[in-house]
Structure 1
Amino acid sequence: MPLLPGHATLGVLGGGQLGRMFVHAAQALGYRCVVLDPDESSPAGAVAHDHVRADYLDAQALEDLARRCDAITTEFENVPARALEQLARTRVVAPGAAAVAVCQDRAREKAHFDASGVPCAPYAVLRGTADLAAVPDTLLPGILKTARLGYDGKGQRRVADRAQLTAAFDELGRVDCVLEQMLPLALELSVLVARGADGQVQTYPVQQNLHRDGILAVTEVPAPQVDAAMQAQARQSAAAIAAGLGYVGVLCVEFFVLKDGRLVVNEMAPRPHNSGHYTMDACDVSQFEMQVRAMAGLPLREPRLHSPVVMLNLLGDLWFDADGRERAPDWAGVLAIPGAELHLYGKTEARHGRKMGHLNVIGASADEARDNARRACALLGLPATW
C-alpha cells in the first residue's frame, strides 16, 4: 500500500543540501520528515520536523528513526550500508543497502555496468602489488581512483606511466583502487532515472554537464550537443542499470561522450544529484519530489521539461574577493535577471570549494536561458564561457 500524503512520516539519513531539498519536497506534499545527522547545524535538520543528532551507526538512534518513520531514504552515497540494513528490518528503505553498496565501491560498480551490458572505460582493479604488476600497457595513461569514498575529484590521480602509477598507488595508501584508461572526451552527460518498487521507471531529459577542477559547474538542458539517438541510448542505459540493481528511488548515471562518438558510462550516484537541480524550476516534477514518490509507492509521473534551463553551481569561492576578503555576492542583481531562480542551502560558513547553492536560469528558448545565465556569471564573477 502506498504511504499517502498527510498520513506518513519520511526519514532521511544525512543532513546536507540534498536532504534539505528532499525535506522541502516531502513537506510540500504533506509528509512529516525526520533527519538523522550528527551535525546540529545541518541544512536538512534545520528544516525537518525532527532532527535526530547522532552518528549513522548509533543503533539506538537508528531504532528511534525507524520508530518515528514509515519509510527512510539517504541523501549521500557513503552512508554505512549497515545502517540501511538495520533500518530495513522494520521499515521501507529506498534505495536499499545492496544497491547502495554497489554504488559505494567502484570495482563493484564497474562489474555491474559490465553485467548490464553498458560500456564503460577499460579498467583494472588494483588490490595489491600483484595487481599493480599485472596492469596491461593499454590502460596507460590512465586515471587511478580509490574504490571507495571518492567524490568531486577527490581520491583520484592521473598517471602517464608505470612509475607514476606506482607512486600514485602509494600516495593513495595502497587501498583498493580502479585504474581507468584515459579516453579522449568530447562531452559529459548525466541521466536521472526514477524507479519504483513495482518496477515502474521514468527518466528525465539528458543533462549536458561541465566540470571545473572535478566539481560540477554548469548543467544545460536540453543537452545542446547531443542528438536524439544518443539521448535515447543514454536514457535506456540508465534504466537498465537501475533495473539490474533492483533500485528504488532516484539514481543519477553519469556518461562520457568520446571524440569518436561513442557513449560510455562513468559512474552513478544512488540519490538525487547536483546535475538534476534544474528540475526544481524547469520540470513539472522535481527530482526530489520523484524521490518522495518512489519511496512512498506513489505513481511516478513522466516528468515534463517545460522550459530550457542552465544550472550554475554556486561554490563558497563567490563569498570572497580576489584578495580573500569576505563579501556578499550581488544577489539583488542576479535576481533581477528574467528566469533566474536562486537556491541557497542554509550553510552557516562559506568555504572555498564548498557547495553553497545553485542558480537555475530558465528561458523561453535555450539561447535566452544561456544568455541570461551568462549575465548572472558576469555579476557573480564566474566564467561565462562553456
Structure 2
Amino acid sequence: MSGPMLLPGATGLTGSGQPTTLGVMGGGQLGRMFVQAAQAMGYFTVVLDPDVISPAGLVSHYHVQTDYLDQQGLAQLLQRCAAVTTEFENVPAGALVTLGAARPTAPSADAVAIAQDRIKEKAHLAKSGVPVAPYAVIETAEQLAAVADDLLPGILKTARLGYDGKGQVRCRNRAELAVAWGSLKGVPCVLEKMLPLASECSVIVARGWDGTCVNYRPQLNLHREGILAVTEAYEGNMPLALADQAVVAAKNIADELNYVGVLCVEFFVLQEGSPEHAQLGGLVVNEMAPRPHNSGHYTLDACDVSQFELQVRTLAGLPLTQPRQHSASVMLNLLGDLWVNEATPPWDKVLALPGVHLHLYGKLKANKGRKMGHLTVTAATAMDARRTALAAADILGIAPF
C-alpha cells in the first residue's frame, strides 16, 4: 500500500499558500490531542463533529459542525484537507468509505468496520497468535438456547456501540443470560466466558503506508466500573515473556488488517495456576481500538514521540521511528466525579508534587464517569512514579491502586 508524503508547512490542496491541512473525524479529547500534535508540527487541521463545543473543534483551525454522514459536511472536509483520520471507532464506516474514495484515509473504512463489530473483531483477533476468550455469538433465540454450559458465568456484550463498559451485562447462569439479552433488546451480542484475571494490559502500535510498524511496550491497566482508571508504564510492569508475546500479537493484528495508523490492542493476563491458564496460556487478546488510546496518554510526557505524533506521521506518510520511553510513568484518569458540587479539584496541591503533568480536555460540564482529563506522573524509577501517583490520588480522592 502506498500513501501520501504530506510534509509539514507544504502548500495545501487549494494552492492558497497555507500549510497542508489534516482532517479528523470526531471532536473528543483524542481528536483534540491529535490536532495539537499536528499543529505543533506545522499542519493546519480541520475537525468534523456535530458538537459546537467539541474539545477538538475548539482548538482546530477549522470546525465542520455537521453529522458524520452529512454529505455537505463531508464535502467541506474534503475541500479543506489533504488526508483524513478518525479519533473514535464509532464514526460510521460509510462516511470513511466516502472520504477514502477521495483522500488518503487512515485507518481505512474496512478496519474501522471490523472494530465496530465484536463478532467480526473476534474472528480477526483469533489470527493474532494469542487466543481469544472462549465465546459464543448470540443473534437469535436458537443461538441463545444453544450456549454451552462452560461459557457461564460470562459477560454478554453487544456486538456494536459498546465502550467504557457500556452494553455489557454479567451473567451467572442461563436465566440471567436470557434476561440480559432481553434487556439489550435482543440485538446481536457476544457472550464471553469470565476468566480468572491477574491483570489487564494493552499494546499500542503505529503502522505506516509502507508496512513499517513501531510500538510502545505494554501498559498495565486498571479498570473500575468498565472505565480505565490507572495505567502503569515502566520496565518490569509485567513478565518480559508475556510483554514480548503481546507486542508480537498486536503487530500481527495490524499486519493482518493491512492497517495504517495508530492501533491499540487490549489483553487479559490470566492467573497462574488456574485451569484457564493451563488451557489458554498466560495471555488472552480482548479487543482492539483503531485509534490512539486512553492507556497511551502517558506517551505525551514519558516518551520522545507521543502516540498522537505517531498518528500524524502515519497519516502524513512521514517516517516512523521506534519510540523511546525516557521516564517511568503512571497515569490517572480524571473523571467528572472529581468535580464534587461543581467545585474545582485542588490542582495546586497536585501540581506541587514532583513530576506531575496535568492535561484537561476543555469540557465544560463534568458528569459522573465522563473523562475530563488525565494526570501523568513521570519519575526516574517505577517506585517513585507510583509513590507520587498514589499521593496525587489521595489528594484528589481517587481510590488507591
Normalized against structure 1, the TM-score is what?
0.97
Give 3-state SS (helix, strand or coil) of 1:266's partner.
Answer: strand
AA in 2 matched with 1:371? R
Q: Any residues of structure 2 matched to 1:5-44 within 5 Å, and which?
A: 5-7=8-10, 8-44=20-56
Match of 1:316 among 336, 350, 354: 336
Q: Any residues of structure 2 matched to 1:58-73 within 5 Å, and which?
A: 58-73=70-85
Match of 2:345 among 315, 321, 329: 329
Q: What CA deviation, in whole Å up to 9, does each residue of 1:81-129 have, x standing for no partner? A: 0000000111000000000000000000000012333311000111111
Report what 1:339 is aligned to: 355
Match of 2:293 among 238, 256, 273: 273
CA contact (8 A) 2:342 2:366 kept: no
CA contact (8 A) 1:12 1:35 kept: yes
C-alpha separation in 2, matches of 1:313 and 1:189: 16
Counting matched residue pairs gives 381
Report what 2:376 is aligned to: 360
C-alpha separation in 2, matches of 1:55 and 1:223: 43
CA contact (8 A) 1:73 1:95 kept: yes
AA in 1 matched with 2:348? A
Q: Any residues of structure 2 matched to 1:147-166 within 5 Å, and which?
A: 147-166=159-178
C-alpha separation in 2, matches of 1:121 and 1:383: 29
Query: Could you tell me how far 1:156 is from its partner in structure 2?
Result: 0.4
Q: What CA deviation, in whole Å up to 9, does each residue of 1:204-247 have, x standing for no partner? A: 01100001111000000126441111111000000001111111
CA contact (8 A) 1:207 1:223 kept: no
Point out the more displaced range, 29-38 or 326-335. Answer: 326-335
Q: Which runs of 5+ in 1 are unaligned?
A: none
Matched, 1:263 2:265: no
Q: What CA deviation, in whole Å up to 9, does each residue of 1:236-280 have, x standing for no partner? A: 000001111111000000000000351000111000000000000
Q: Which runs of 5+ in 2 are unaligned?
A: 11-19
CA contact (8 A) 1:123 1:181 kept: yes
Give 3-state SS (helix, strand or coil) of 1:175's partner.
Answer: coil
Report what 2:15 is aligned to: none
Match of 1:87 among 99, 104, 111: 99
Match of 2:121 among 84, 109, 112: 109
C-alpha separation in 2, matches of 1:51 and 1:128: 42
C-alpha separation in 1, matches of 2:235 and 2:332: 15
Report what 2:224 is aligned to: 212
Query: Could you tell me how far 1:18 is from its partner in structure 2?
Result: 0.3
Q: What CA deviation, in whole Å up to 9, does each residue of 1:353-372 have, x standing for no partner? A: 10000000000111111111
What is the percentage of aligned positions where both structures have the same residue? Answer: 64
Report what 2:248 is aligned to: 236
C-alpha separation in 1, matches of 2:171 and 2:84: 41
C-alpha separation in 2, matches of 1:383 and 1:178: 31
Q: What CA deviation, in whole Å up to 9, does each residue of 1:27-59 have, x standing for no partner? A: 000000000000000000000000000000001
CA contact (8 A) 2:128 2:250 kept: no
Match of 1:2 among 5, 18, 23: 5
C-alpha separation in 2, matches of 1:213 and 1:108: 25
Match of 1:53 among 44, 47, 65: 65
C-alpha separation in 1, matches of 2:367 and 2:335: 8
Q: What CA deviation, in whole Å up to 9, does each residue of 1:303-335 have, x standing for no partner? A: 000000000000001000xxxx22110111111
Matched, 1:282 2:302: yes
CA contact (8 A) 2:27 2:87 kept: yes
Report what 1:199 is aligned to: 211
Report what 1:178 is aligned to: 190
Query: Could you tell me how far 1:63 is from its partner in structure 2?
Result: 1.1
Runs of 4+ aligned residues of structure 1 deviating over 6 Å after TM superposition are none
Report what 1:297 is aligned to: 317
Query: Could you tell me how far 1:375 is from its partner in structure 2?
Result: 1.1
CA contact (8 A) 1:307 1:363 kept: yes
Report what 2:152 is aligned to: 140
Query: Could you tell me how far 1:300 is from its partner in structure 2?
Result: 0.8
C-alpha separation in 2, matches of 1:76 and 1:233: 26
AA in 2 matched with 1:287? Q
C-alpha separation in 1, matches of 2:136 and 2:394: 43
C-alpha separation in 2, matches of 1:83 and 1:225: 39
C-alpha separation in 2, matches of 1:18 and 1:49: 16
Backbone CA RMSD of aligned residues: 0.9
C-alpha separation in 1, matches of 2:385 and 2:231: 12
Q: What CA deviation, in whole Å up to 9, does each residue of 1:267-297 have, x standing for no partner? A: 1100000000000000000000000000110
C-alpha separation in 2, matches of 1:296 and 1:259: 42
Give 3-state SS (helix, strand or coil) of 2:58's partner.
Answer: coil
C-alpha separation in 2, matches of 1:223 and 1:193: 17
